Amino acid sequence: MNEPAKIFTLPDLGEGLAEAELLSWHVGLGDHVVEGQPLASVETDKAVVEVPSPRAGEIARLCAQVGERVKVGAPLVEFVGGASTDSGTVVGEVTVGSAVLHEAPQSVGRSGAGLRATPAVRAIAKRLGVDLGSVTPSGPNDTITKADVERVARVYAETGPLEALTGTRRAMAVNMAKTQAEVATAALFDDADIHAWPAGSDPMTRLLRALAAGCRAEPALNAWFDSEDMGRRLLKTIDVGIAVDSPEGLFVPVLRDVAGKTPDELRAGVDALMAAVRGRSLKPEELRGASIMLSNFGPLGGRYAVPLLVPPVVAILGAGRARDQVLAVDGQPAVRRVLPLSLSFDHRVVTGGEAARFLMAVKSELERAG
């Protein structure tokens, strides 16, 4: 006759705690275990605890799911076979984790080797709803302390509930995190003397024409990079993804065949894309297939930046706020109108020389009078 199954319940973990969260199982269905073998790791408000097996036998059922909060005395594991010594308490030593644990960052905002915090601090953060990735550590060796978590919790309380990112802002967060994780971003900066521009010149049209001139001079920047197959595609048509700020987040609609358009056609194309962004009427195909990117952030403010590109694109040109500056002209000081330029590029596939030649071609085109 088959031996009846034996239920092992979550034991009293001490200090009057009534429940614990199941962090991980160390066994699976059908496993044969020996007395004292770790069954699971659970986390209380104070520590991470390893629960050992009270007996030898075969695991017939796991009674809780990872992430579930299990009350003391609730079923944890069902055994069949083996000698039974379980009287509702733990046989063996309950191991409490007090060492500093390394935890991989879960948020977009933190990068590096990982987060350092004791199990107790991690438990406090979980109880208070604090993302460890948003906490600046103050403890030894960049360890997050209880005070660090409580400080951030106070900030959370003052700012209100967490607002989940959706739609465009969520896509922006995902794309920027992907860029930071995958792209070897490098940057160059320079200024273009635009004093010779005729009155009424359109900066956006001039920037698009200059970007096309840069691509003609150095086609390596009008390209896509396939990181999986370690190859690049040099693109013949210059399709510019234009960064557009909006209350809903960042949009990057694509203006097609920039090199083949007249200045009036460029202006009309930009206006149409801007209107589509404002009216939320962009078609999906208008957001895909950029061969290079442009960010004209100058009207909003700022001089230089390191704008982030979105793979598979390998370059993005940024233009800051134009300013008057004293320059040497024909050996004499003169006040000139200057436009700051920032070029970010993927150094995995674009060399510094290619980027420099591109930027010099852009600058030369911008400095032309006509």
Sorted by sequence, the CB contacts under 8 Å of residue 18 that are 6+ apart come out as 71, 72
Task: Give a yes or no: residue 164 inside a domain.
Answer: no
Task: Give a yes or no: residue 43 inside a domain.
Answer: yes
**Angle of helix 203-217 versus helix 263-278 axis, rounded to 10:** 110
Whether the predicted pLDDT of 129 surpasses 50: yes
- Does residue 19 share a domain with residue 38? yes
CB 366 within 8 A of CB 207: yes
For 193, phi then psi, to 5°, come to -80, 105
CATH number for the domain spanning 177: value is: 3.30.559.10
How far apart are the C-alpha atoms of 270 and 255, rounded to whole Å? Answer: 7
pLDDT tens digits for range 324-347: 999 999 999 999 999 999 999 999
Question: What residue numbers bound the domain in which 135 lies?
Answer: 101-159
- Does residue 232 share a domain with residue 142? no
CATH number for the domain spanning 145: value is: 4.10.320.10
Task: Give a yes or no: residue 1 inside a domain.
Answer: no
Please report, for residues 20, 23, 113, 128, 177, the alpha-carbon distance to residue 146 in angstroms, rounded to integers and kept in the order given: 20, 21, 21, 11, 28
Confidence at residue 89, expressed as pLDDT on a 0 to 100 scale? 45
Q: What is the DSSP letter of 198?
A: P
- Does residue 70 share a domain with residue 130? no
pLDDT tens digits for range 3-50: 667 899 988 765 556 788 898 899 999 999 988 888 998 876 556 778
Neighbours of 286 (CB within 10 A): 18
| Average pLDDT value for residue range 237-250 | 91
Whether the predicted pLDDT of 76 surpasses 90: yes
- Does residue 126 share a domain with residue 73? no
Q: What is the DSSP letter of 130?
A: -
pLDDT tens digits for range 41-74: 887 655 677 888 888 999 999 999 998 989 888 9
Task: Give a yes or no: residue 115 inside a domain.
Answer: yes
